[in-house]
C-alpha cells in the first residue's frame, strides 16, 4: 500500500506558487522525513502493531530509519519479524542501519530510547500510563520530539430508540460477537453502550444475558492483561447484568446516566470482553452523556430512518469526540486503506490530527519545507 503511495507524484505534497519579479518570490514546498523513529511494539497485536506493523511501515515509507522496542510479551515472534525486515532491507538495497530491533526489561529501557538525541519521533501503542510516561520523556528533552501514542478508548455504541425497539435481539447478538472477538483484546472493542430507557431495552438486556450465558473463560495474551482484566471486572462485579465475574469471562455492567456522570471510574477502560450499558432518561440526557465523554478511537450509531433527527443532533459532538464514526456496524475490525482513521482526540491518542492505520499514517513522520527562489533542479 505504501509502495503504491510512494509511486504517486503527490505523496510528499509538492506545491509551487510561481514568483513574479518585484511582486512575490517563487515558492516550492514539499514534505521531508523527520529522522529516526522509535516504534514501541504493542502487546495485543504481535504482527499488525508490533515489529513489522503499521508504525514501522509508515516511518520507512516516509524515509525515516526505524528502531523498534520489542514487546516483552512476544520476544520470539518479535525477533522472527525483525529478521524478516532486516533480510528484506538488505535484499532490496536499503541503507545499512535503516532498521533495528532492540529489547530490554522494564520501562527505563524504553525511556532511554526516547531520550536518545538521535531519535526524532515516537510511535507507541499501549496503555495510557505508558504513553503519558513516554510523552513526558520526549517533552523533557533539550529538543522535544513528537510522540504519536495510541492509548485508551472505550468506543461508545449509541443504541438509538427506533433501532433498539425494532431489533433488540439482533442488536444484542451482533454486539456480543463484537465484544467477545479475540477475547475483547482489541483497542476498538465496544466498551460502552448508551441507550434511552424505552421500548426494546428490556428485551436487549435479556438477550445480552442469554447470549453471554455460559461463555467460557478466555485465553488472554499475557498474564498482565489477564490480571488487569480480572481486577477491572471485580471492581464492577456488583453491576453485572450479563456474563460473569469469574475468571476472564465476558461481562456487561449497567449504570444510569447519573451514576456514570458521578463515578469517573466507570469511564475507565477494562481491556478485554467487558462493556458498560448506560441508560439515559431521554434524548437530552443522552446528548449530555455523549458531550461528557473523553476522546475515542470510534463512536457507533445504531439507528433507523426515524432516528436520523437524533443522530444529526449528536453528530457534531461525536465528530469532536472520535476519529471514526460508524453507522449500523461495529467498531472491531479496522480496514487498512487510504481513507481509514485509526486515531482520535486525547486520550485515545496523543495527537488527534493523525492516524496509525492507512496511508495518512505517513504524515506523522514528515514535515514541510519551503524553498524560496530555488532553481527547480535543486528541489526535484
Could you confirm whether 150 is annotated as catalytic? yes
In this predicted structure, what is the pLDDT of residue 377? Answer: 84
Beta strands per DSSP E along the chain: 15-17, 27-33, 37-40, 66-69, 99-102, 121-125, 147-150, 156-159, 192-196, 240-243, 251-256, 274-280, 296-302, 322-327, 366-372
* C-alpha–C-alpha distance, residues 314 and 291, integer Å: 9
Q: Beta 156-159 vs 296-302: how paired, if at all?
A: parallel
**Antiparallel, parallel or unpaired: β 99-102 and 66-69:** parallel
Burial class (CB in 10 A: 0-12, 13-18, 19+), 160: buried
What is the structure's pLDDT at 378? 84
Rounded to an integer, what is the distance from CA 159 to the centroid of its chain? 22
CA distance 97 to 149: 24
Q: What is the Cα–Cα distance from 246 to 360, expressed in whole angstroms?
A: 42
* Confidence at residue 338, expressed as pLDDT on a 0 to 100 scale: 93
**Confidence (pLDDT) at 46:** 87
Structure confidence at residue 169 (pLDDT): 97
pLDDT value for 105: 75
Distances (CA, A) of 279 to 154, 192, 258: 16, 11, 9
State the catalytic residue, choosing from 84, 108, 150, 294: 150
Contact 165, 142 (CB under 8 A): no
Give CA–CA dist 380/362, Å, rounded.
Answer: 20
pLDDT at 47: 87
Q: What is the DSSP string of 282-337?
A: SHHHHHHHHHH---EEEEEEE--GGGHHHHHHHHHHHHHHEEEEEESS-S-----S
Query: Who's near 238: CB < 8 A, 6+ residues apart?
Result: none
The span from the CA of 43 to the CA of 162, in Å, is 39
pLDDT at position 250: 96
Q: Does 2-151+349-379 match 156-327 in CATH topology?
A: no
pTM of the full structure:
0.94
Provide the pairing of β-strand 274-280 with 192-196. Answer: parallel
Asked if residue 306 lies in contact with residue 162, where contact means CB atoms within 8 angstroms, the answer is yes
* Average pLDDT, consecutive stretches of 10 residues, N- to C-terminus, the chain (380 residues): 94 94 94 97 87 95 97 93 96 95 86 97 94 97 97 97 98 97 93 98 97 91 93 96 93 98 95 97 98 98 98 98 98 93 96 94 97 85
Q: Where are the domains of the chain?
A: 2-151+349-379, 156-327
Architecture field, domain 2-151+349-379: 3-Layer(aba) Sandwich (3.40)
Q: Could you tell me the CA-to-CA distances from 28 to 12, 76, 365 in Å, in that order?
A: 12, 47, 20
Residue 177: Cβ within 10 Å count: 12
Distance CA 224, CA 216 (A): 20
The reply to whether 20 belongs to the active site is no
pLDDT of residue 44: 85
Sheet with 274-280, side-by-side order of all strands: 240-243, 251-256, 274-280, 192-196, 156-159, 296-302, 322-327
- So what's the pLDDT on residue 49? 86
Strands 366-372 and 27-33: antiparallel
Concatenated DSSP letters of 4-59: HHHTSTTTT--EEE--BTTTB--EEEEEEE---EEEEPPSS-TTTTSTTSHHHHHH
Residue from 187, 269, 280, 285 carrying the catalytic annotation: 187
Give domain 156-327's CATH number out of 3.30.565.10, 3.40.50.1970, 3.90.1150.10, 3.40.309.10: 3.40.309.10
Contact 30, 368 (CB under 8 A): yes
Q: Which helix (H) or strand (E) holds 165?
A: helix 161-166
Q: Which of 152, 274, 288, 266 is nearest to 215 (CA)?
A: 274
Amino acid at each position: 500500500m505504501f509502495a503504491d503511495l510512494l509511486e504517486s507524484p503527490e505523496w510528499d505534497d509538492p506545491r509551487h506558487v510561481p514568483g513574479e519579479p518585484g511582486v512575490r518570490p517563487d515558492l516550492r514546498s514539499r514534505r521531508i522525513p523527520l529522522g529516526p523513529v522509535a516504534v514501541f511494539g504493542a502487546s495485543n497485536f504481535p504482527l499488525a502493531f508490533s515489529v513489522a506493523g503499521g508504525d514501522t511501515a509508515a516511518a520507512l515509507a516516509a524515509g525515516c530509519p526505524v528502531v523498534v522496542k520489542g514487546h516483552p510479551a512476544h520476544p520470539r515472534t518479535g525477533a522472527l519479524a525483525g529478521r524478516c525486515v532486516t533480510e528484506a532491507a538488505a535484499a532490496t538495497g536499503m541503507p545499512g542501519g535503516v532498521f533495528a530491533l532492540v529489547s530490554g526489561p522494564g520501562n527505563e529501557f524504553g525511556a532511554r530510547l526516547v531520550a536518545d538525541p538521535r531519535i526524532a519521533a515516537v510511535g507507541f501503542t499501549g496503555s495510557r500510563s505508558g504513553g503519558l510516561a513516554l510523552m513526558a520523556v520526549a517533552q523533557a528533552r533539550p529538543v522535544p520530539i513528537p510522540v504519536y501514542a495510541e492509548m485508551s478508548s472505550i468506543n461508545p455504541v449509541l443504541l438509538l430508540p427506533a433501532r433498539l425497539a425494532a431489533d433488540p435481539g439482533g442488536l444484542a447478538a451482533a454486539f456480543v460477537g463484537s465484544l467477545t472477538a479475540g477475547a475483547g483484546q482489541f483497542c476498538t472493542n465496544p466498551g460502552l453502550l448508551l441507550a434511552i430507557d424505552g421500548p426494546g431495552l428490556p428485551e436487549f438486556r435479556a438477550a445480552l444475558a442469554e447470549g453471554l450465558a455460559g461463555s467460557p473463560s478466555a485465553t488472554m495474551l499475557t498474564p498482565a492483561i489477564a490480571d488487569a482484566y480480572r481486577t477491572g471486572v471485580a471492581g464492577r462485579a456488583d453491576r453485572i447484568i450479563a456474563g460473569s465475574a469469574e475468571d476472564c469471562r465476558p461481562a456487561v455492567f449497567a449504570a444510569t446516566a447519573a451514576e456514570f456522570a458521578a463515578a469517573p471510574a466507570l469511564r475507565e477502560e477494562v481491556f478485554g470482553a467487558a462493556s458498560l450499558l448506560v441508560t439515559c432518561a431521554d434524548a437530552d440526557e443522552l446528548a449530555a452523556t455523549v458531550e461528557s465523554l473523553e476522546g475515542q478511537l470510534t463512536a457507533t450509531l445504531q439507528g433507523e430512518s426515524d432516528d436520523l433527527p437524533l443522530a444529526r443532533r449528536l453528530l457534531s459532538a461525536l465528530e469532536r469526540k472520535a476519529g471514526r464514526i460508524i453507522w449500523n456496524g461495529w467498531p472491531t475490525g479496522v480496514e487498512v486503506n487510504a481513507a481509514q482513521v485509526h486515531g482520535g482526540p486525547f486520550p485515545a491518542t496523543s495527537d488527534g490530527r493523525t492516524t496509525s492505520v492507512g496511508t495518512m499514517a505517513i504524515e506523522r513522520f514528515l514535515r514541510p519545507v519551503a524553498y524560496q527562489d530555488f532553481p527547480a533542479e535543486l528541489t526535484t
